[in-house]
Amino acid sequence: MVGVFLQANFGSRRELTLAGVPLGRLLEAENPMGEYTFVPPGAGSVIAVVATDAPLLPHQCTALARRVTLGLARTGTAGSHFSGDLFLAGSTGTPASQGDAGRHGQLRFVPWGYLDPFYTAVVQATEEAVANALVANETMTGRDGHRSPALPRDQVAGLFRGRP
């Protein structure tokens, strides 16, 4: 099992793509922050935590964390110079080694050649985590009345229904 938890404060509205549908371009009219230039489009950060119950070594967890960017790319973002991103991964599936009198231990882990399905799972779970964050969000009004609208769920559903 692989899961991704993320804080999605990245990308520009125009870039947003979900399941291959260019939602950002189709919903571009509802972008009240588009007129402000105090923050470059796409600036922001994303923090992602990847967790798995597969028995993995630390370097294998690092390899999983590196796949987060591929899932983010599926959502349309190309990254930004101003984006400060952080990706972590961990495994709960590698118990402390057991050995004779603590001198020698055994460690079980997934061989490197069998990690591809885990990489795919990270990419898919990352894309889904972004979609979940966008669907769960609410319209927010910040300092000086700056408004960031929630994703218009009804419009998005209509765009997906109209897909071939």
22, β-bridge pairs = none
C-alpha distance from residue 95 to each of 4, 31, 51, 113 (Å): 21, 49, 15, 21
Confirm if 45 and 86 have CB atoms less than 8 A apart. yes
Confirm if 9 and 45 have CB atoms less than 8 A apart. yes
Backbone phi and psi for residue 96, each to the nearest 5 degrees, phi listed first:
-55, 140
Q: Which amino acids are annotated catalytic? A: 45, 83, 85
Confirm if 68 and 7 have CB atoms less than 8 A apart. no
How far is it, in rounded angstroms, from Cα 79 to Cα 10?
8
- Per DSSP, the three-state class of 65 is helix
